[in-house]
Amino acid sequence: MTPSLLKIAITGIVSCLFISLTAFVIPFSVGVTTPTNASTTGVPVNHTLYDRLLKKYVNEKGLVNYRGFKHDQKELTKYLDMLSNNPPADKWSRNEQMAYWINAYNAYTIQLILNHYPVASIKDIGSKVQIPFVTTPWASKFFKIGGKDMSLDHIERSVLRKQFNEPRIHFALVPAATLGPRLRNEAYQPDKLIDQLDEQGSDFLNNPAKNAISPQRASLSKIFDWYKSDWQKSNKSVDYWVNRYSSAKINRDTPISYLDYNWGLNEQ
């Protein structure tokens, strides 16, 4: 075989090998995606940007300047993009994961309001016929986390309530309602999360507009009725949680009723 023919033969063999290897590798590489339960960096999210926005647009009473917030909606989107691309990893601490999900719920709720502002109530968003967990604003999958379509309901019910035995999340999740828990004008932080939840509990139980409590009678927020099973976990009770944070105490014989819930927007 002449040198020229030998060169042609070798080139042909190499080409065939390359095509074969490419055909083998591509099917395995195309389907590779980042796991939805792991951060792309592995590092817990920094909530400084969100904290700065809350300090700027939320007052001490937890009321939101949505009109002003609209001007900084791009900054909120930056924070939400960071959340979307960095879901909690298994190696994150419990408090790091909880702070992430509580902040995500509240921040995406703000975004939902801004996307439809002006609006008198979050319940005015979406379908006029609202079926719980189906057609409500909380059931709408309007964002992604870790590449997965996500709703506010999913964060609350399938993540926070299912994975963490912590009923105090109900003092922290803010559905943009007047009689809901106060939206803190700071982000939840892992290193002080428990103190923040305790402060929320005290603030909520001692606000007479949200809970009217005396030893003779207790008119409580609907959240104690809606999430009764959460408050009763670990052999606790509704009266246990009331007495933990309320300055006025009740006992097991104190009649308990539940106040109507005002869904008016928590706006300044």
Q: Report the number of secondary-structure helices (H) and strands (E) in the chain.
A: 11, 5
The tens digit of pLDDT for each residue in 226-263 reads 999 999 999 999 999 999 999 999 998 999 999 999 99
Residue in the structure block whose two tokens are 């975004």 = 111
The tens digit of pLDDT for each residue in 39-65 reads 556 799 999 999 999 999 999 999 999
Average pLDDT of the chain to the nearest whole number: 88
Least confident interval from 100-109, 130-139, 146-155: 130-139
Provide mean pLDDT across the span 162-186. Answer: 97
Q: Which of 169, 175, 129 is nearest to 152 (CA)?
A: 175
* 3-class DSSP state of 81: helix
pLDDT bin (cut points 50, 70, 90) of residue 132 is confident
DSSP H stretches of helix in the chain: 3-30, 48-57, 66-69, 73-85, 94-116, 152-153, 161-163, 193-205, 223-226, 228-231, 238-245
148-150 and 143-145 beta bridge pairing: antiparallel
Residue 18 has pLDDT above 90, yes or no: no
Instruction: Supply angle C-alpha 204, 208, 210, rounded to 5.
Output: 50
Whole-prediction pTM value?
A: 0.85
Residue 37 has pLDDT above 50, yes or no: no
Provide mean pLDDT across the span 58-80. Answer: 98
